[in-house]
Amino acid sequence: MNSLQQVCTFQIDGGLFGVEVKRVQEVLRHHEMTRVTLAQKFIRGLINLRGQIVMAIDLRRVLELPNAADEKAMNLVIRTEDGPVSFLVDKILDVIDVDESTFEPPPPNLHGPTRRIVRGSYTVADRLLLLVDADAVLALIEQPASS
Amino acid sequence: MANLRQLWGGRVLEEFVKDYLIECQEGLEQFETQLLALERDPTSKQVVSAIFRVVHSIKGASGFLGFPKMAKVTHQGEELLGKLRDGSRETTPAVVSGLLGLIDVIRRIMQSIEATGTEGDEDDSAFIAQLKALQTADPAPSTPPVATPPPEVPPEPAQPEPIAPEPTLVAEKPPAEPAPSHAPEPSAESPTAPASALTDSTIRVDVALLDKLMNLVGELVLTRNQMLRCSLVRDEAMFQASSQRLNLITTELQEGMMKTRMQPIRNLSSKLPRVVRDLAIQCGKQATIIMEGEETELDRTLSEAIKDPIAHIVRNAVDHGLETPEQRVARGKPPEGVIRLRAYHEGGMVNIEVSDDGNGIDPAKLKRKALERGWLTEEQAASWTDRELLGLIFRPGFSTAETLSMVSGRGVGMDVVKSRIESIGGSVDVSSRIGEGTTMKMKIPLTLTIINALIVSAGGDRFAIPQVNLVELIRLKGDAIGAGMINLQGTAVSRYRGKLLPLVDLNRVLNIEAEARPTESDAVNIVVLQADQQRFGLVVDRIDDAQEIVVRPLARQLKSISCLAGATIMGDGKIALILDVFGLAKDLDGTRDRTGNLTARDDQPASQPIDESHAMILLRGTDASPFAIGLREVDRLETFAASTIEWIAGRPLMQYRGNLLPLLDVAAWLTNKQWLGDTSDSTWYQIVIHEHEGKRLGLVFDKVLDIVEDRLDVRGEASRTGVQFTAAIMGRATEVLDVPQIRDRYEESLRAGGVAR
């Protein structure tokens, strides 16, 4: 029997991505943000999550993509050891079951910034779903802010 | 007999041991305080009984839980106390020392139990024998009791079991000082041994207070229900009423919750009598400590943070402050020195004063020391007030102790105390009178989580500045901007109460674009801030209002940004960043280093703003040679393109503020020429505007190099007319201009109608 995994899917620049659902605390629509100009470039700002101050990481910046036209990024709030962190994505889609047997490691011709955060891919309804490794994204912001 | 340890395992026992340790800890604190009271009043049966009860209950619990060593030691202590209680033995200093030793042993065993679950392998039989001996008589005088180190100091240096708790258990609370290595350390260190992690993680709250909080929470729930209904029926009046109630309940809840976190100062001051006693004996002094306002309350985390600084100040007072009994008597003072600890609330802060009636600090001595170390020049030293000199004790590496004693003067000094107190938003100040004593005054905020802040805007974002760092707000308008702000190659300074105030532009620091850069007509808002000794001005786009804000920490990844202290949520739900004034002050230094500006005044403390009467502006003339002008001669600095310069009757002029401003190319004029500079449109000139009796004159230079202080050692004779003298400034021979003379000569030449000087 094939084991199934639940993945929360989202879209960035037309591409289909996903994170393991167990890492997701909640999803939010666009939230007003306070920028932190001296922070690392991936950190877009801080959002007020019901009184809790949460750091937002712009996945577009991580993937070295230009800013989206409408700038209404949605928040995918991820659980981490240090409390929640939000990933900013273009659009949050459904939670789907993926078939573990369709999992493939990152294709060797996948280069650049995507390679840094993608753990592998699934095929979902003839589309390629790239599974984002939340910890890899968090590791990117561990480096001290470049001054 | 099988004890509980064999009967029960696992969690139940763990819980018992935890409770036991907490009880022991509380008992010990009481023990210590009572014991010192006993020393003062050796006949008090009441005090003896109180101590007896503490030791008795520790003994009982130890036997119950199966800690035989603890039981044995406390048993002997109990025996001794029993003798004291029934009057068959008198309370002598030796007995008190023995009992203090008992405290140390109990504490050590407790720490071992907490860290490892066992009592440790140390042999206490010698100490037990000593306690036994004390039950009948004082030890032989060959070993004076006061000098006997308590037996916590084991003679064998190799210890199989470390006494300090294992790092795993106290990881969240690293001791400020390295855990005392027990073998060579004096007994005075023992009260500052790392506090038990276990007892720090629990808190006792008054039941009445807890009930009150529960009631408030009940009211809060009711108000919520009401408000939910409001949103359904849209009743405006009802909504307003419940909003008001919510406001009230929140305030009360906030206050009540704060109270649960409050601890009386007593919790930290109760250990001081022991510190003073042990230390006085060690230094051959007599000292007592008097405490006032011990019931003054302070937030837990804060009282934890000031524990070590206060102990340090008290140790200093005994070690450096007080004189020996002989000296005191010679000066007509009682042989016993008095340390006074006074705590009280004032203006939303807790003030703690530690004073002694000892020697006082001699400012002249401090001055000598500072001169020796090259921290001050003779000139500076002469102009410093005693108060400023006293402030020197907070400088790193400063010690007035002639000889390093075991207790203090080990390099970590008042500078550490100061930075610790400041890190929690407090301040520390010293005052002293020679021969009469020294007072250290600390101001500590009540809590760290809710603070008063000033809200400012920069680049459309709001920022909060803690009120404690705020000195003053300045708003410069129109002409005052020019007069008040001088821009020196990106390093702006402002005139502020006769001094020059370095300016930091918040937009620049944070790399944000301003809403709209202030032009001549706009106002400039400057927030004058104080960080340490450094005073500086922060230029912001707008000053909003003052507010009480709740401080939230920043994510770990953002903590490296030194100019941010945290974040807070504003009334509209948006987040505002809290600025770290100390971090901003650091940025000030950074600017200086980067641009190489203002380096000429690195030889003096950064805290000294440039004294305007001595400051000079260093310029490069149109012939590339360096000139200097006293800043008092400078009314404004302007930058102009060569294209704006007009020529009338062979004289350069320009339009400036609705008038014609005559220009004078100084380098050219000095060599009898009219103009040396390039007149191509793309060239920019720096113009120093000098005003005298309503007439302005623009002195033309190539650019501004720097601002320096007129502390020039090498002075040469004036080389030519218009020059005051020549001096070596920043390694170059520089002509210091005599602007009034230049002006007069220029006006003369105007009247004569010629170019000649």
Residues of chain A with a CB closer than 8 angstroms to some CB in chain B: 32, 34-40, 43, 46-48, 51, 53, 55, 82-83, 85, 141-142, 144-145
Residues B467 and B594 in one domain: yes
| Average pLDDT of the segment spanning B585-589 | 70
The pLDDT assigned to A38 comes to: 84
Say which residue, B167 or A15, is predicted with more confidence.
A15
In a domain, B192, yes or no: no
pLDDT band at B228 (very low <50, low <70, confident <90, very high): confident
Considering only the beta carbons, identify the residue of B569, B574, B577 that sits closest to A36.
B577
State chain A's mean pLDDT as an integer. 86
In a domain, B160, yes or no: no
| Average pLDDT of the segment spanning B687-706 | 83
pLDDT band at B152 (very low <50, low <70, confident <90, very high): very low
For chains A and B, count residue pairs whose Cβ atoms are closer than 8 Å.
Answer: 56
Mean pLDDT lowest among B176-190, B306-320, B482-496, B649-663: B176-190
The pLDDT assigned to B8 comes to: 54
Q: Which residues are CB-neighbours of B576 under 8 A, at least 6 positions away?
A: A34, B455, B461, B462, B463, B464, B549, B567, B568, B569, B570
The pLDDT assigned to A87 comes to: 94
Q: Which domain holds residue B742?
A: 615-752
CB B358 within 8 Å of CB B321: yes
Residue B410 has pLDDT above 70, yes or no: no
Measure the CA–CA gap between B97 and B105, rounded to whole angstroms.
12
In a domain, B172, yes or no: no
Q: Which residues are CB-neighbours of B16 under 8 A, at least 6 positions away?
A: B4, B8, B65
Residues B673 and B582 in one domain: no
Chain A residues with beta carbon closer than 8 angstroms to that of B575: 34, 46-48, 53
| Domain boundary pick from B536, B568, B601 | B601
Q: Which amino acid, residue B625?
A: S
Chain B residues with beta carbon closer than 8 angstroms to that of A139: none
| Domain boundary pick from B417, B445, B473 | B445
pLDDT band at A54 (very low <50, low <70, confident <90, very high): very high
Residues B288 and B228 in one domain: no
The pLDDT assigned to B490 comes to: 54
Considering only the beta carbons, identify the residue of B557, B560, B577 that sits closest to A34.
B577
The pLDDT assigned to B5 comes to: 55
Measure the CA–CA gap between A44 and A57, rounded to whole angstroms.
6
With CB atoms and an 8 Å threshold, state whether B574 touches A51: no
The pLDDT assigned to B250 comes to: 87
Spans of all domains in chain A: 4-140
How far does the CA of residue A136 sit from the closest CA of chain B (Å)?
15
Q: Which amino acid, residue B183?
A: A
pLDDT per residue as tens digits for the range B274-294: 888 888 888 888 888 888 888
Q: What is the CATH number of the domain that holds B38?
A: 1.20.120.160
With CB atoms and an 8 Å threshold, state whether A53 touches B576: no
In a domain, B196, yes or no: no
Residues B377 and B461 in one domain: no
State chain B's mean pLDDT as an integer. 75
Instruction: Tell me what percent of the residues of chain B surpass a pLDDT of 90.
Output: 5
With CB atoms and an 8 Å threshold, state whether A34 touches B556: no
Structure tokens at B616: 């000079």
Longest CA–CA separation in chain A, Å: 52
pLDDT band at B33 (very low <50, low <70, confident <90, very high): confident
The pLDDT assigned to B140 comes to: 58
pLDDT per residue as tens digits for the range B379-399: 777 777 887 788 888 877 665
Q: What is the CATH number of the domain that holds B717?
A: 2.40.50.180
Say which residue, B272 or B694, is predicted with more confidence.
B272
pLDDT per residue as tens digits for the range B707-755: 776 555 556 667 677 887 777 776 677 888 888 888 888 888 877 765 4
With CB atoms and an 8 Å threshold, state whether A38 touches B512: no
- The total domain count for chain B is 5
pLDDT per residue as tens digits for the range B413-464: 788 888 888 777 778 888 888 888 889 988 887 777 778 899 998 888 899 9
With CB atoms and an 8 Å threshold, state whether A37 touches B567: no
The pLDDT assigned to B614 comes to: 61
The pLDDT assigned to B275 comes to: 84
Task: Sort B288 into a burial class: Cβ within 10 Å, 0-12 / 13-18 / 19+.
Answer: middle
Considering only the beta carbons, identify the residue of B511, B557, B569 that sits closest to A55.
B557
In a domain, B668, yes or no: yes
The pLDDT assigned to B104 comes to: 85
Residues B712 and B592 in one domain: no
With CB atoms and an 8 Å threshold, state whether A38 touches B564: yes
Residue B90 has pLDDT above 60, yes or no: yes
pLDDT band at B488 (very low <50, low <70, confident <90, very high): low
How far does the CA of residue A115 sit from the closest CA of chain B (Å)?
23
Structure tokens at B245: 């109630």
With CB atoms and an 8 Å threshold, state whether B558 touches A34: no
pLDDT per residue as tens digits for the range B177-189: 333 333 333 333 3
With CB atoms and an 8 Å threshold, state whether B461 touches A51: no
In a domain, B674, yes or no: yes
Angle of CA points B419, B425, B426, to nearest 5°: 70
Q: Which residues are CB-neighbours of B340 under 8 A, at least 6 positions away?
A: B289, B290, B291, B292, B353, B354, B355, B356, B357
The pLDDT assigned to A18 comes to: 93
What residue in A sits closest to B568 (Cα-Cα)?
A: A53
Among A31, A36, A58, the strongest candidate for a mutation testing the B interface, having the largest count of B CBs within 10 A, is A36
Considering only the beta carbons, identify the residue of A34, A46, A145 that sits closest to B560.
A145
The pLDDT assigned to B609 comes to: 40
Percent helix, percent strand, percent coil in chain A, to nearest 5: 15, 45, 40
In a domain, B420, yes or no: yes
No. of H helices and E strands in chain B?
22, 30
pLDDT band at A128 (very low <50, low <70, confident <90, very high): confident
Among A38, A54, A140, A141, the strongest candidate for a mutation testing the B interface, having the largest count of B CBs within 10 A, is A38
Considering only the beta carbons, identify the residue of A37, A51, A55 that sits closest to B510.
A37
Strands (E), B56-109: none
pLDDT per residue as tens digits for the range A72-85: 889 999 998 888 99
Residues B238 and B295 in one domain: no
Residues B402 and B460 in one domain: no
ipTM of the complex: 0.87
Residues B74 and B105 in one domain: yes
Which candidate, B490, B742, B728, B745, places its Cα nearest to that of B626?
B728
May I ask the CATH class of domain A4-140? mainly beta
Chain B residues with beta carbon closer than 8 angstroms to that of A141: 557
The pLDDT assigned to B589 comes to: 57
Chain B residues with beta carbon closer than 8 angstroms to that of A47: 575
Residues of chain B with a CB closer than 8 angstroms to some CB in chain A: 461, 510-512, 552, 554-558, 560-561, 563-564, 567, 569, 573-577
Which candidate, B544, B525, B518, places its Cα nearest to that of B465?
B544
Instruction: Tell me what percent of the residues of chain B surpass a pLDDT of 70.
Output: 76
What residue in B sits closest to A45 (Cα-Cα)?
A: B575
Residues B287 and B436 in one domain: yes
Question: In which region does residue B523 sit, left (phi positive, over 0), alpha (psi from -120 to 50) or beta (all else)?
Answer: beta
Structure tokens at B10: 């696992």
The pLDDT assigned to B409 comes to: 40
How far does the CA of residue B277 sit from the closest CA of chain A (Å)?
45
Residue A146 has pLDDT above 50, yes or no: no
Which long-range contacts does B403-411 make (Cβ < 8 Å, 24+ apart)?
Answer: B405/B283, B405/B319, B406/B186, B406/B282, B407/B186, B407/B188, B407/B279, B407/B282, B407/B283, B407/B315, B407/B318, B407/B319, B408/B312, B408/B315, B408/B316, B408/B319, B408/B320, B409/B319, B409/B320
| Average pLDDT of the segment spanning A59-76 | 85
With CB atoms and an 8 Å threshold, state whether B511 touches A34: no
The pLDDT assigned to A59 comes to: 92
Residue B553 has pLDDT above 90, yes or no: no
